[in-house]
Structure formats: C-alpha cells, structure tokens
Amino acid sequence: MSDARVLHVDIGYDANRTVITVAGSPQAVFASVEAGIRMAVKKIDMRDQIGEHPRIGAVDVCPFVALSGISKGDLRAAVEKFAERIAHELGLPIYLYAQSAHHPGRFSLFDIRKGQYEGLKKKMNEEEGIPDYGPSSFNPVFGAMAMGVRDLMIAYNVHLKTTDLPIARKIAADLRGSGRWMVRNGKRVQQAGRFSSLKAIGWWMASYGWAQVSMNVMDFRESPLHEVYEAVSERARAYGIAAQGSELIGLAPEEALKAAGNFYARRAGESGELDEDQWMSYAVRGLGLDRLGSIDLRDRIIEYTLRS
C-alpha cells in the first residue's frame, strides 16, 4: 500500500471525540496526518469542547504504529522530525510520548493528560510541563498534542447494567495495571490491578443510559479481550450488577478477536477447527459486541481492512 487510506472512523458522541485510523506508506501517512492537523487547527476551538474522554487538545493524541515497510527505529526518527516541523510551522505545543518519549514521565499518555486541557495553562508554566516541541505558552484554541510511536493497542469498552458511575470506577481500578492508591499502616501505597498492561477508567455514557469501563488494552496477548471481558463481568457481579456487552473503538488485530471466538466456542462445547464465520460469530456473541446493533467483524479487523 503506497497511498494513505482511511481504514475506520469512530465517532463517540459522549466522549466528544473522533478516532481516525489511517494506513499507507510512511510518506503518505505523514501527509494525511498533516492535512488532518491543519484542518483541526482551522475548525476546532477547545474553549467550546466538553466531553467524557480525557484530552489536552484539538488533536489530543497522534500515535504511529509500524505495521510493515519501516522499522520502529526509523519510524521514531521520522516522527520526531515530523513533530518538530509541525510544531514550528503551526505554532503547536507537542509532547512526545510512548516509545518516542524523551522524558520518563511522558511515556504514559495518562501522565501527559493529567490536568487535561483545563490544567494546561498552569502545567506549561512549570518546568516539567514544557512541551518537547513548539511554544511553551498556552494556546487556548488548540491546546496541545501528544505524538509518538507505540505498539498496537485495542481501545475496548464494556457496558455495565447500571447508572452508578462509582461502581464503574471501582471496577476499572480493580483491573487496570496502575490499580488504586490505598493507605496501609499510615502510608499511602499503590495496589496494582489484575492486568499489568491494561489502562482503564469508569465513565458515564448519557446517550446509552449506562456506565462503562473504558479501556486501552496495551498488550492483547498478556490481556486477552475475552479475559478482560470476563474479569469485568466477575467484578460487576461482585458489586451487584452485570456486564451487558462491549464495543471496540476503532480496529483490532485478527489474533485478538479469533482468540476470543475460540474461547467462547470451547465454552459452548465446540471442538475442532472453526471456520471464519464461526469464530467471528462466537466472538461477537461472547463479547456482546452486537449490544448496540449488528456488527461485521470484517470491518473491524486491521488485517481485513488492509486487504479490502
């Protein structure tokens, strides 16, 4: 693939943000990303933006993933040059994160987003809040942006049959790698959650009428989707409620969804090799991915969209 192509667009109304997945040659992807950033600069005013999802700017985060045709090292170098140029030409504050991070405290997007857009002005007046590229003065219209190279990640939300937001937040803390802060023997200590490579928050989805556990699965082999869904379900029952399906935000790798399909097929008593339609059907039903309406996994799997 040489030209850049939009593989998927996911619009979240309660989150009030859009996730756009683009693939192609490095040169084509950089050109497409630049066009998108320039349009965001013209069209989006963060002073009017309100949403459930944590964010720091009009283009909150711009991740790059090396799928093929370029090494991670070469991609990191290219992203740094791109970030430096865009920051200079458009006057945008850019923080390098993940595998592109220059500072240990900026590896995690969660850390960069602390204080969110509303706290940026104060943050940028402090030494640890100075961006890697671009002006260190607060831009109230655009905000700031995180950019960097990372591995494949799955954005995955589980619906809860409750309007009780604190329960969603408790479940998120039970499962995410960072866990929660607790006081033991008079000292504040951090208790890790069940999945070391999982990031999770609880939030309220007004348009759905229920709370969710919203997650980033940073390593789907260490934290398989079906294990994550079953763990949310188990913790929900412990709090007296139930999980009621889930949703993918953007795309996911075939391996992750096929593993889920096989898991739920074995639970149903199936044995032997499953064909494509079978494992997809079990994955959809087992994870409850059709809770919000019918879904064709062929449209949500990275490998399939790249081939189409």
The first and second tokens of residue 302, run together, are 């990275």
| Residue that is last in its domain, among 149, 183, 214 | 149
Residues 120, 191, single domain; the answer is no
What's the domain count of the chain?
2
pLDDT of residue 308: 79
- What is the CATH classification number for the domain harbouring 103? 3.30.990.10
Residues 184, 74, single domain; the answer is no
Average pLDDT, the chain: 95
Residues 88, 228, single domain; the answer is no
C-alpha 33/C-alpha 43 separation (Å) is 15
Whether 44 has a pLDDT exceeding 60, the answer reads yes
Q: Report phi then psi at 64, rounded to 5.
A: -125, 135
| Residue that is last in its domain, among 132, 149, 166 | 149
pLDDT of residue 2: 59
For residue 198, count other CB atoms closer than 10 A to its CB: 23
C-alpha 294/C-alpha 297 separation (Å) is 10
Residues 285, 179, single domain; the answer is yes
pLDDT of residue 269: 96
H helices then E strands: how many in the chain? 9, 11
Whether 1 has a pLDDT exceeding 70, the answer reads no
What's the rounded mean pLDDT across residues 23-33? 95
Residues 254, 132, single domain; the answer is no
Closest CA to 243 of 255, 253, 251, 235: 235
C-alpha 229/C-alpha 251 separation (Å) is 17
What's the rounded mean pLDDT across residues 177-204? 91
Q: Are 94 and 131 in contact (CB under 8 A)?
A: yes
Q: Domain range for residue 165?
A: 154-307
Whether 298 has a pLDDT exceeding 90, the answer reads yes
Q: Sorting pLDDT into bands at 50, 70 and 90, what band is 177?
A: very high
Residues 170, 124, single domain; the answer is no
Q: Are 95 and 44 in contact (CB under 8 A)?
A: no
* Element containing residue 79 per DSSP (H, E): helix 72-90
Position of tokens 């989006």? 44
Strands 154-160 and 243-249 come out as antiparallel
Q: Are 152 and 225 in contact (CB under 8 A)?
A: no
Q: Are 123 and 129 in contact (CB under 8 A)?
A: yes
The amino acid present at 207, given as its one-letter code, is S
The first and second tokens of residue 137, run together, are 């003065």
* 14-18, 40-44, 265-269: segment of lowest average pLDDT: 14-18
Position of tokens 């919203």? 214
C-alpha 85/C-alpha 65 separation (Å) is 20
Q: Which residues are catalytic?
A: 53
The first and second tokens of residue 110, run together, are 């969660």
Whether 165 has a pLDDT exceeding 70, the answer reads yes
pLDDT of residue 19: 95
| Residue that is last in its domain, among 93, 122, 149 | 149
> What are the tens digits of pLDDT across the range 217-234?
999 999 999 999 999 999
The first and second tokens of residue 55, run together, are 């964010």
Closest CA to 235 of 196, 188, 200, 189: 200
Position of tokens 């991609």? 75
Residues 138, 12, single domain; the answer is yes
> What are the tens digits of pLDDT across the range 234-288?
999 999 999 999 999 999 999 999 999 999 999 999 998 999 999 999 999 999 9
For a pLDDT cut of 90, what percent of the chain falls above it?
A: 89
pLDDT of residue 182: 85
C-alpha 105/C-alpha 180 separation (Å) is 19
Q: The pTM is what? A: 0.90
Residues 84, 23, single domain; the answer is yes
pLDDT of residue 189: 86
Position of tokens 């504050």? 93
The first and second tokens of residue 236, run together, are 């929900």
Half-sphere exposure of 87 (CA within 13 A, CB side): 22
Residues 170, 112, single domain; the answer is no
- What is the CATH classification number for the domain harbouring 297? 3.30.70.670
Cβ neighbors of 268 (< 8 A, separation 6 or more) are 282
